[in-house]
Amino acid sequence: MNFKSIVASILGMILCIGVYHYTISNRENTIKIEHITSPNGKSAVMTLDDDGKIKPLTFTNTVDNVLDAVVHIKNTQTSDAIPQNRNSIPRNLPDPFKEFFGPQYYRFDAPRQSPNRPRVGTGSGVIINKDGYIVTNNHVVADADDLEVTLHDNRTYKAYVVGTDPSTDLALLQIKANNLPTVPMVNSEDIKIGEWVLAFGNPMGLNSTVTAGIVSAKGRNINLLKEKFAVESFIQTDAAINPGNSGGALVNLDGGLIGINTAIASPTGSYSGYGFAVPSNIVNKVVEDLLTYGVVQRGVLGVMIRSVDGNLAKDKNLSINEGAYVDSFLVNSAARKAGIEQGDVITKVDGHMIKSSPDLQATIAQYRPGDKIQITVNREGKDKDIDVTLINTEGNLNLLEKEHKKVLSIIGAELEDIDKSTAKKLDIEGGVKVNKLYAGKLKKHTNMKEGFIITKMDGRSITNRDELISRLEKKEGGVMFEGIYEYIPGEYYYAFGL
C-alpha cells in the first residue's frame, strides 16, 4: 500500500467516526461535539461559559432549581352575572380562555365548557417571592370566581389577585404560604438570540413539564393586545409550549427568569414552533408598581410610531434603516412638547439602542410618569438629543393613585367614589362604584356585576370609598351590600362572608 492509499484510509476512518458521532448528538438535541479522541471514546456535549471556559451542557441543574417554583393555576367561573333582582341583565360574559384576535395567534386556553356548568380554565404561574407572590398572565385569571394554585409538591391554596395589567397581559397573585421556592429575575436585555432557554408549565394537563429551545428572536410585536397603551415586545422561542403553559417560566440555563410565557403562533392552537414570552424587565416593573402603588404607573411619550425598514426608509427618504419612526402625536404629547417632530426617527433612549417600535415600547414601559429621559432622534440624517419628561395615560405628570388595600384583594374588587353629577342624577347622597371584579368573595359568593354602586353596608349608608374600606377592615362575619346600577332600575342586595 503506497503512502497516498494510507492517508486516504486514515481520512476515511476519521470521516466515518465524525459522521457517526454527529448523528448521535443530533438525536440528543445537542449543538456540537468539541473533539473525538478515539472510536471507543465517550462523547460529551460541551459549551462555553461567559469566560470562554469549556463546560458540559446540561439542563438538570436548571430544572432542579426552577421546577418547584412553577405552579398550576385553576380558574373556575361559576357566576351567571345576573343580579339578585327580578330585573334580569342579558348575559354576555367574555371568556378569558379563548383564541386571541385572528386565526393565527393564540393565548393558551382550555376548551369552552357548557354554559350551564362551571367553566374551568388552567394555566401556570411563577413564584417570585417566598411569601407567596406569584406572577402569571392576566388572561389566566380574568373573570375568575375562584382561583386555586397547586404547587409542585401537590399542596393547594386559594389565591387572590393583588393586581393586573391588561396592557402587558400580566397579573400578580398571592397565596397564604411562606418559605416557598422562588425563581429570581434577570435582566432580559442581556439575553442573546440563539441562547438556550427552558420553558416550564402545565400544558394540556401535563403538570410540571419542561421543554428546551433557543431564543429565536427578541422585540416581537404580534398585534396581540387590544389595549390602547398595550406593550408588545415579546421574546420569541422555539421551546415547545402549548395550552396550559400561559403564565409559566421561560428561564436561562442559570435558572434566571427571562420571561413569562404568554402566547403561541399556530394555525391550530397547538405548538408549531413559535412561542412568545413577556420579557422579565417588563414583568419586574409591573410587579413593583402593583406592590408599591396598587396600579401600574405607565410613562407615555405620546407618539404614534412604526418600525423603520428598507421600504419606509425609501418612501420617507430616511438615511437609516432602523429605529422608531414618529408618524403623529397624541393629545398633550410629551414628545411634541419637548421638541420631537413628525418624521423624526427615535434611535436611542438614555443611550439604549432602539431598532424598532417594539424596542421603544418595551424601553418606555420601564419608566414612570414624571421621569426625565434623553431621546436621540435622527432628523434629516443628523442625530439630535432631546430631553423629554414622560406623562401618564391621562396626559399629566402625576402618579396614578390607587391605594392597595388587602381587604379589597380579599373581596376581589376595584372601587372608586361616584362623582357629584352621577349622585345627583341617581338621587343619592353618594356611593362607591365597583369598577372591576377579580377572583374573590364577591365573584365567588354573589352575582354582582361590574358597575354596581354600593350605597349601604349592613343597613348603614356609604358615601365614599375610604369609609367603606374602613368598615370592611373592622368587619367579621357576614356582610350585606345594598345599592343600584346606573342604567338598570331597582335596588339590589349582595350578601357574603368575610
pLDDT value for 12: 43
Q: Do residues 30 and 18 lie in contact, with contact meaning Cβ atoms separated by under 8 Å?
A: no
Of the residues 145, 165, 169, 289, only one is catalytic, namely 169
Average of per-residue pLDDT across 309-335: 94
CA distances from 262 to 214, 220, 224, 494 (A): 16, 12, 10, 35
Q: Is 49 a catalytic residue?
A: no
* Phi, psi for residue 246 in degrees, rounded to 5: -50, 130
C-alpha cell at position 274: 413559535
Q: Is 152 a catalytic residue?
A: no
Q: Do residues 135 and 126 lie in contact, with contact meaning Cβ atoms separated by under 8 Å?
A: yes
CA distances from 324 to 307, 309, 481 (A): 5, 10, 50
Does the pLDDT value for residue 151 go beyond 90?
A: yes
The percent of residues in the chain predicted with pLDDT above 70, rounded, is 82
d(CA 320, CA 318): 6
C-alpha cell at position 272: 408549531
pLDDT averaged over every residue in the chain: 82
pLDDT value for 472: 92
The two domains 303-389 and 406-497 share their CATH topology (first three levels equal): yes
Q: Residue ranges of the domains in the chain?
A: 3-56, 58-297, 303-389, 406-497
pLDDT value for 180: 96
pLDDT value for 228: 75
C-alpha cell at position 426: 341617581
Of the residues 124, 216, 233, 246, only one is catalytic, namely 246
Does the pLDDT value for residue 353 go beyond 50?
A: yes
Round the CA-based radius of gyration of the chain to a whole number and report it.
27
Q: Do residues 290 and 162 lie in contact, with contact meaning Cβ atoms separated by under 8 Å?
A: yes
Q: Which of 49, 66, 123 is nearest to 257 (CA)?
A: 66
Place of cell 380562555: 97
The model's pLDDT over 103-114, given as tens digits with 9 standing for 90+, comes to 344 444 434 445
The model's pLDDT over 443-457, given as tens digits with 9 standing for 90+, comes to 888 889 999 999 999
d(CA 260, CA 286): 12
Of the residues 109, 139, 216, 333, only one is catalytic, namely 139
Q: Is 169 a catalytic residue?
A: yes
Does the pLDDT value for residue 164 go beyond 70?
A: yes
Question: Which is higher by pLDDT, 197 or 100?
Answer: 197
Does the pLDDT value for residue 24 go beyond 50?
A: no
CA distances from 286 to 101, 107, 135, 311, 390 (A): 24, 20, 10, 35, 17
Q: Which of 310, 360, 50 is nearest to 192 (CA)?
A: 50
d(CA 141, CA 415): 19
- Choices 3.30.70.260, 2.30.42.10, 2.40.160.60, 3.10.20.600: CATH for 406-497: 2.30.42.10
- Choices 2.40.10.120, 3.30.1950.10, 1.10.240.10, 3.30.70.80: CATH for 58-297: 2.40.10.120
Sign of the alpha-carbon dihedral angle for 177, 178, 182, 185: positive
C-alpha cell at position 318: 430616511
Q: Which of 134, 110, 112 is nearest to 123 (CA)?
A: 110
- The pLDDT-based confidence of 116 (bands split at 50, 70, 90) is low
Q: How far is CA 40 from the centre of its chain?
A: 49
Range name among 225-239, 247-261, 399-413, 465-479 with the lowest pLDDT average? 399-413
The yes/no answer on whether domain 303-389 falls in CATH 1.10.287.180 is no
Question: Which is higher by pLDDT, 328 or 18?
Answer: 328
The pTM (predicted TM-score) of the whole model is 0.72
Strand partners, 432: 417, 454
The model's pLDDT over 222-257, given as tens digits with 9 standing for 90+, comes to 888 877 778 899 999 999 999 899 999 999 999 999
